[in-house]
Amino acid sequence: MGKIEWAMWANEQALAAGLILLTGGIVGVAGQFRGWEFASYAIAAGFFVCMLEYPRSKRAKGTSVERTGQYCFTVCVKAFGPVTRNYYVRAFLHAALCVPGGFMLATVLGCVCLGIASLIYLAAAVRGEHWEPILPRKDTRKPVAESIKSPPQNPPPRPPPEIRRKQAKDVEGAAYDNPIAVTDE
Amino acid sequence: MCGEEGGEEPLHGASRTERTPVSAAAPAPCLPAEPRLWRELGAAKVEVGAPEGTMAVSVRSWLANEAGKHFVLMLWLAANTWLFLDTYLLYSTGQQYHYLYQMLGLGLCISRASASVLNLNCSLVLLPMCRSLLTFIRGSHTMSTRRMRRLLDKSKSFHVTCGVAICIFSAVHVSAHLMNVVNFSASFSEDFPDLNLARYKGEVRHKHKVTKEKKNQGFFCFRFSSVPGLSGVLLVLILLLMFISSSHCIRVCNYEIFWYTHNLFIIFYIILMVHMVGGALKYQTNTEAHPPGCLSSQLAVLVLCLCAQTWLWVSGPLCLYCVERLFRYIRSSHPVTIVTVIRHPCDVVELRMLKKNFRARPGQYILLNCPGVSSFENHPFTLTACPTENKETFGIHLRIVGDWTEHFAHLLLPQPRAALEILPVVHQRRYPTLYVDGPFGSPSEEVFNYDVSLCIAGGIGVTPFACVLDALIERWKSFRLQRLYFVWVCRELQSFYWFAELLCALHEKLWKENRPDYLNVKLYVTQKDCQQPVESFSHG
């Protein structure tokens, strides 16, 4: 379990929790249940969490796959600098956001999921992870050297004749010796 | 054999995850690539050039290859639909549910119908995970036809389909029950007090003023004080955890998170069994004496709780799964003896092992568990050499990517010692204890069952085909296979050294036995800056 990136799981969990909170809030407001004010809060909180969690972070090791159309969200989240970069902030933010959802049945599931996501973010923060934006890579081409325009005047240097003769003979020197022989017997 | 440079992205077929390597075995009816081969396929009379002929071939080919799994999917959809509609009609028109239906309406029917669909899917979802059973079915000649084996290849997709269905119908079930709770309070019945779940009318919505004391025992408390309510919330929570961590990116990047959360299914099933105890929905048992609508209904309408049906559905597959796990545990309880460890270029280690009564077919894979590295992790590796009559050892090639394989290779291989040793000591090589679970079947076993096979492999994904080639060296005449096209794409040239000897030996043997066209090998390298000269593999 050494090199798990907890932040990735926390991100998925928080995004799902945001969606569930949003749905629960809509149901609560539409049904006009007791405590529907909490439901309207849940709609706003769910929407905010979805916006915050939509852009995936860049992985520390390996290829990062970004979500469809996440570039504009990345730019917005990146603009807040260290506040969104740090996972401790996210952990406490989610913990604070989830509490009012617990007072109404329609939103209690979203509250618990967001609480779990907040715990996983805390684990990620303790391990020293942080959020990195996935930005499109700019391929820097090396500036073309001047010498490409004029072909070389002299042939490349050749080794002396004795060594050239040895290279032609010694092809098996490069072969690999497998200690267990594969035979057809 | 030739080595060419290609410019495409390298294909990473890593054997260390559950993904199958990049491979394709083309069955005989599909159009072969080379015209001279068409004459050899005497059985399939292919009309050259006529469009109807080509169409008939592709329809026949689709029927042989793809129709089976679509048929099973349709069957499963039909079963779910029938169950949903049947239960819906039972609750909306059944005499014993008449008064309950009057109280609750649509919510009752939808919640019960989705519950029966959930029962079916919770039982079906376990069946594709009984891997030893599936391997047995795949291997037995009496039970498996080619169509059945192709269906078995799709067992994981079926598991995912059932899982998604469980999630969707859980959402439907929860919403319907929320509607029921509202309706229980809105249509609180004074006539039939036993049918009620709410404590008073209008408990859910504060349409009229209630006393402070009644308000405090709110909607919330009664939901959680009942067994179905609490267990339902826990079930949905566990299901959500399992579902969210099964997404593709988490499986690919952090397989352990997926594995450990998915093992919560045990708790899920236990809670599922007790979910219906103390049920909220009741029915009338004396419908003959008091049919619905009779006016003396206040007198004696007996009510009883709904009996839990879940255990009927789920217990069969759950027992089967438990037996299978027990069998696998017993089978893998003896550690294997490690015979040889060989280091190959490009971070590959070959491991040769010995185990009593170990039988395997080419293309199968095993699960390795090394307590010295991690007690709970099982990693799958395809066998590259199966035990035969002549040699009892079996082998795997594992590529060192990630922390488990790194640690494992560190335990296996002798480390270069910088310190001087005064006396040359003969080291008794102490290998770590290793447990092997398996072997399990995979689609790669089908290579031998066709006249012509095309095998395409990327990187370390060549391992099932290496086992196939190993089996061909021993007894190529005994298989149905008449020709094998083998395409292997690697990032670096050094990677081909993993099986260079095997390829050369097989090639030479086939030449000597006058079947030079049996094996066609094409090797590709994808690395852009290929500094080393392309050397031909000499076979003389």
Question: Is omega for the bond preceding A157 within 30 degrees of 0, making it cis?
Answer: no
Q: What is the dihedral of CA B446, B447, B449, B452, to 10 degrees?
A: 140
Average pLDDT over residues B66-94: 93
- B534 in contact with A, Cβ within 8 Å: no
Total residue count of chain B as it appears in this document: 540
Number of A/B CB contacts below 8 angstroms equals: 89
* C-beta separation of A63 from A9 below 8 A: no
The whole-angstrom separation of Cα B354 and Cα B237 is 45
β-sheet bridge partners, residue B396: B351, B383
Of residues A176 and A118, more confidence is placed in A118
- Please say if the pLDDT value at position B113 is more than 70: yes
The whole-angstrom separation of Cα B501 and Cα B473 is 12
pLDDT per residue over B242-263, tens digit each? 999 999 888 888 888 999 999 9
- Please say if the pLDDT value at position A184 is more than 80: no
Name, in order, each residue with C-beta under 8 angstroms of B48's C-beta and a sequence gap of 6 or more.
Answer: B38
For the segment(s) B334-414+430-525, the CATH number from 2.60.120.560, 2.40.30.10, 3.40.640.10, 3.40.50.720 is: 2.40.30.10
Residue numbers of the domain that contains A113: 6-58+67-126
- B340 in contact with A, Cβ within 8 Å: yes
Of residues B444 and A139, more confidence is placed in B444
472-531 in chain B: CB under 8 A from chain A: 473-474, 497, 500-502, 505-506, 508-509
At residue A135, the pLDDT reads: 82
Average pLDDT over residues B349-363: 92
- Give a yes or no: residue A47 inside a domain: yes
CB atoms B249 and A2 under 8 Å: no
- Give a yes or no: residue A175 inside a domain: no
At residue B33, the pLDDT reads: 46
CB atoms A8 and B250 under 8 Å: yes
pLDDT per residue over B382-405, tens digit each? 999 999 888 899 999 999 988 899
Place of tokens 């408990």: B203
At residue B214, the pLDDT reads: 43
Identify the sign of the CA torsion B36, B41, B45, B50.
negative
CATH 2.40.30.10: which residues of chain B?
Answer: 334-414+430-525
Tell me the pLDDT band of B192, cut-offs 50, 70 and 90: low
Name, in order, each residue with C-beta under 8 angstroms of B114's C-beta and a sequence gap of 6 or more.
Answer: B84, B169, B170, B172, B173, B176
Lowest-pLDDT range of B4-8, B35-39, B359-363 = B4-8
CB atoms B497 and A176 under 8 Å: yes
Would you call B220 helix, strand, or coil by DSSP?
helix
Lowest-pLDDT range of A173-177, B231-235, B374-378 = A173-177
DSSP letter for each residue of B131-200: HHHHHHHHH-TTT--HHHHHHHHTHHHHHHHHHHHHHHHHHHHHHHHHHHHHHHHHT--SS-GGG--SSS
Q: Between the CA of residue A6 and those of A13, A57, A123, what are the distances in Å?
A: 11, 11, 7
- Please say if the pLDDT value at position B170 is more than 90: yes
ipTM over 0.85: no
Distance from CA of B134 to the nearest CA of A (A): 30
Phi–psi pair at B488, nearest 5 degrees? -130, 120
* C-beta separation of A43 from A25 below 8 A: yes
- Please say if the pLDDT value at position A121 is more than 90: yes
CB atoms within 10 A of CB B337: 13
The whole-angstrom separation of Cα B62 and Cα B519 is 27
Distance from CA of A57 to the nearest CA of B (A): 12
Would you call A164 helix, strand, or coil by DSSP?
helix
For residue B377, the chain A residue with the least C-alpha distance is A1
CB atoms B500 and A12 under 8 Å: no
Of residues B183 and A48, more confidence is placed in A48
- Give a yes or no: residue A89 inside a domain: yes
- Please say if the pLDDT value at position B23 is more than 60: no
CB atoms A171 and B220 under 8 Å: no
Of residues B220, B254, B340, nearest to A4 (C-beta): B254
The CA-based angle B418-B423-B429, given to 5 degrees, is 70
CB atoms A34 and B254 under 8 Å: no
Tally of domains in chain A: 1
Tell me the pLDDT band of A118, cut-offs 50, 70 and 90: very high
Would you call B207 helix, strand, or coil by DSSP?
coil
The whole-angstrom separation of Cα B321 and Cα B126 is 7
- A59 in contact with B, Cβ within 8 Å: yes
Long-range Cβ contact pairs of B226-229 (< 8 A, separation 24 or more):
B226/B278, B226/B280, B227/B274, B227/B275, B227/B277, B227/B278, B228/B275, B228/B276, B228/B277, B228/B278, B228/B279, B228/B280
The whole-angstrom separation of Cα B298 and Cα B128 is 51
CB atoms B473 and A179 under 8 Å: no
CB atoms A12 and B342 under 8 Å: no
Identify the sign of the CA torsion A94, A95, A99, A101.
positive
- Give a yes or no: residue A155 inside a domain: no
pTM of the complete model beyond 0.90: no
CB atoms B240 and A59 under 8 Å: no
Name every chain A residue with its beta carbon within 8 A of the beta carbon of B340. 179-180
pLDDT per residue over B290-319, tens digit each? 666 665 555 555 666 666 677 888 889 999
- A34 in contact with B, Cβ within 8 Å: yes
